[in-house]
Structure 1
């Protein structure tokens, strides 16, 4: 069995076994030292050599794959400005649950509008990427509807260690524009593997620092890419 198969089997087994490792207490808001999980499916569909549609689906659990925390779906339109830079504008839908006393659960939803600029710097085989993002977040289905603006800056480093395996690390700072107040910081380090030409898998550790607390997360991400610029179907139909 090759390394790709080993990595894939490990990932699948983790998803199957992890939910049974511990019992969930819904009356507690904190995970009391247990790591949470952060699962992501992300990718791009190329419509043109300069235009693409991004898609991100994320789910966060307070315990590993247990006790739902929040989820969101994000999409938009990306314009490739150059080989090393791109600009994206889009929309996100966010849903979250807060667990209170007596197993009470409070749900809330938000609609986000965002814009981002990404610049990549290739250092031989290594890649250093900067991402600047602005978000306008609006509360839905709530009597106390409100909105705020948030800016984010992420610095990411990817270092290949073989033809298909790489180390990935990033740090991202979040600031609320109103009052220029700190919102959170995310640090991640992990390993990834290119499974196919259009599919990658990442697994690692992420630390979230919030205003009054912090969280340890196991972060898993499956990344895909689709090339819709090919005209194979049209050629076969002629």
Structure 2
């Protein structure tokens, strides 16, 4: 079993290395730190309120980047499947204008869990309706939001966790693909970004886990420029029963 796990991880690592090498000379590289908290309030057997708060810092921990807050109301269809309706508010820093730009999102998602023996795997499909603020310089040097760009986006997320030797430590492997859809004024490019993460975690108890890992984020800007961010990510996962 252990050899099969190692082989599986090794194949994925080799594929990632090949992709990384092929685009290395064509993209701009950056380094970031992401600090994330994924919480959940369990209201009863069927209803819950998942939420998360993320602080994403560029280059060094003192640099400005992005702050994201998100929450939703989730209904469990059964033990494997659930649906959710949610809202997110994001502020993203622009180096060129030395200012944060706001974004509102409404999103719908479907989650399906497919446990494989001792492995925990789940798939998430998310549709987003995005409203990104456009700031314009006014008289006196004030930047104000004068308009909002609208965009539809599709996201597919997969995360697999594997317990290590039956103890509290686990290995996590995940990937998320972002694609811009019709009626999009934010970006006309179909491919938006991809995030690949490997992490080591520790389960203090079933409802409280922490992990630290490396994320590779490959992004295509609306202008077509490509960048690759190398991210050190710290995550806390907690579920609270009410």
Give the structure 2 partner of residue 199 of structure 1: 208
Q: After the TM superposition, which of the residue ranges 190-199 and 69-78 deviates more from structure 2?
A: 190-199
Post-superposition Cα deviations, 1:27-60, rounded to whole Å, max 9, x if no partner, equal xxxxx86631011011111111110001100111
User: Which residues in structure 2 correspond to 1:151-230 (within 5 Å)?
Assistant: 151-161=154-164, 162-178=166-182, 181-211=190-220, 212-228=226-242
Give the structure 2 partner of residue 15 of structure 1: none
User: Which residues in structure 2 correspond to 1:1-238 (within 5 Å)?
Assistant: 35-100=31-96, 104-140=97-133, 142-161=145-164, 162-178=166-182, 181-211=190-220, 212-228=226-242
* TM-score, normalised relative to structure 2: 0.76
* Structure 2 unaligned regions, length at least 5: 1-27, 134-143, 183-187, 221-225
Q: Is the 8 A contact 1:64 1:218 kept in 2?
A: no
Runs (4 or more) in structure 1 with deviation over 6 Å come to none
| Aligned-residue CA RMSD (Å) | 1.6
For 2:168 and 2:37, locate their aligned partners in 1 and report how far apart those are by CA, in whole Å: 19
Distance apart, 1:199 and its partner CA: 1.4
Distance apart, 1:180 and its partner CA: 6.6
Post-superposition Cα deviations, 1:118-173, rounded to whole Å, max 9, x if no partner, equal 11111111012111000101124622311101000012111111321110011110
* Structure 1 unaligned regions, length at least 5: 1-31, 229-238
Q: Give the secondary structure class of the aligned counterpart of 2:79.
A: coil
Distance apart, 1:197 and its partner CA: 3.8
Distance apart, 1:115 and its partner CA: 0.7
* TM-score, normalised relative to structure 1: 0.78
